[in-house]
């Protein structure tokens, strides 16, 4: 069995070593143009040339949960794309979102500013019931985040494409129920995949429908947010602020206003990192399952784009 590794932004050597340890029977190499045909590939943002040269792969394993870097390429309909299915990311996402939510709700930034000035001052406690958390996307990551947020006793609402039932979450689905979902949310967490339907979904029109003093946590993809709409909504007082992990251009350019806005907190696309051991174990397990002719989870639906 031959496996190619074609991942921009990843140091190849430790991944090759881990893959070889998990699949000792396989021949595993870094892709270079003209490489002989392989059975499987492990990819992250591969060039179109890679797909053109390897049309007969049995499966492509994406080193992330979001496959938007692949779906924007010309893919053959028979190509089996497999995304990472949690692989240690959901607990990280839960940490990130709970941190951003609680930091905002408990006004920890304001306390830090007071403390920096030597001020011992209390703020009036706020009610959790005034901060319902709306989670866009109730997939692998969204459901884990919903569970963590509910543990802190915030009311939780969720929105997905198809109707879902998630314990402790008031669920909405489809475009028709989006307004009702937004009106029920004050803190909005985006955990959607980036598709033609979701690009630009965090915009003036939708964010204006949040409860007053809305707060945005975008941990999905930068292109979900219409960046130019955000600051005016914060300046007008409609939104209280935002915690952003992802941006239209990454790294975020030094002159971008988000860096310095006092009500926007920025992190460098780090909410849920791809973990090598978990990812390799999952991919190796799935390759072996495919070789046995078994069903595997996490196969991308080309029609839906995720």
Check 164, 199, 269, 302 and give the catalytic one: 269
Closer to ligand NAP at the Cβ: 193 or 241? 193
On whether the CB atoms of residues 37 and 44 are closer than 8 A, the answer is no
198 binds ligand NAP (CB under 6 A): yes
Q: Which of 15, 48, 9 is nearest to 29 (CA)?
A: 15
Closer to ligand NAP at the Cβ: 18 or 171? 171
- In the Cβ-directed half-sphere of 303, how many Cα atoms lie within 13 Å? 0
Selected binder of ligand NAP within 4, 18, 23, 65 (CB under 6 A) = 65
Distance between CA atoms of 45 and 70, rounded to whole angstroms?
A: 6
Q: Which of 182, 187, 91 is nearest to 141 (CA)?
A: 91
Distance between CA atoms of 132 and 135, rounded to whole angstroms?
A: 10
Does the annotation count 269 as an active-site position?
A: yes
Closer to ligand NAP at the Cβ: 185 or 198? 198
Q: Which residue has the tokens 């939708």?
A: 206
220 binds ligand NAP (CB under 6 A): yes
172 binds ligand NAP (CB under 6 A): no
Question: CA angle at residue 255 from 192 to 227, to 5 degrees?
Answer: 30
Closest residue to ligand NAP using C-beta atoms: 139
Does the annotation count 256 as an active-site position?
A: no
Instruction: Tell me the window of 97-105, 119-127, 156-164, 225-233 that interacts with ligand NAP (CB under 6 A).
Output: 156-164
On whether the CB atoms of residues 237 and 208 are closer than 8 A, the answer is no
On whether the CB atoms of residues 69 and 63 are closer than 8 A, the answer is no
DSSP state for residue 107 in the 8-state scheme: T
Residue 269 CB, nearest approach to ligand NAP (Å): 6
Distance between CA atoms of 261 and 274, rounded to whole angstroms?
A: 29
Instruction: Tell me the window of 103-111, 219-227, 228-236, 278-286 that interacts with ligand NAP (CB under 6 A).
Output: 219-227
Residue 153 CB, nearest approach to ligand NAP (Å): 23
Residues that bind ligand NAP (CB under 6 A): 64-66, 89, 137-142, 159-162, 164, 191-195, 197-198, 219-221, 245-246, 269, 271-272, 306
Active site residues: 221, 269
């Amino acid at each position: 069995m031959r496996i190619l590794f074609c991942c921009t932004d990843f140091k190849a050597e430790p991944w090759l070593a881990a893959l070889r340890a998990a699949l000792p029977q396989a021949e595993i190499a870094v892709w270079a143009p003209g490489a002989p045909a392989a059975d499987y590939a492990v990819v992250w943002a591969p060039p179109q040339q890679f797909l053109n040269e390897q049309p007969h792969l049995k499966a492509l394993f994406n080193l992330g949960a979001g496959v938007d870097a692949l779906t924007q390429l010309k893919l053959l309909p028979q190509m089996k794309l497999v995304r990472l299915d949690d692989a240690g990311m959901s607990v990280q996402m839960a940490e990130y979102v709970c941190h951003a939510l609680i930091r905002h709700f408990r006004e920890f930034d304001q306390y830090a500013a007071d403390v920096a000035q030597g001020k011992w001052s209390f703020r009036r406690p706020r009610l959790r019931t005034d901060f319902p958390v709306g989670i866009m996307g109730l997939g692998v990551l969204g459901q884990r985040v919903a569970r963590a947020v509910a543990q802190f006793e915030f009311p939780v609402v969720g929105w997905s494409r198809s109707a879902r039932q998630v314990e402790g979450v008031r669920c909405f689905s489809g475009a028709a129920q989006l307004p009702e979902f937004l009106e029920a949310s004050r803190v909005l967490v985006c955990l959607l995949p980036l598709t033609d339907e979701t690009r630009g979904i965090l915009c003036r029109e939708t964010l204006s429908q949040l409860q007053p003093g809305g707060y945005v946590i975008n941990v999905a993809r930068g292109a979900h947010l219409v960046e130019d709409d955000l600051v005016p909504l914060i300046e007008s007082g409609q939104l209280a602020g935002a915690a952003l992990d992802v941006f239209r251009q990454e790294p975020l350019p030094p002159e971008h206003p988000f860096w310095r806005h006092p009500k926007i907190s920025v992190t460098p696309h780090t909410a849920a990192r791809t973990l090598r051991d978990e990812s390799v174990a999952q991919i190796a397990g799935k390759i072996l399952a495919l070789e046995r002719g078994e069903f595997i989870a996490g196969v991308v639906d080309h029609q839906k784009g995720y």
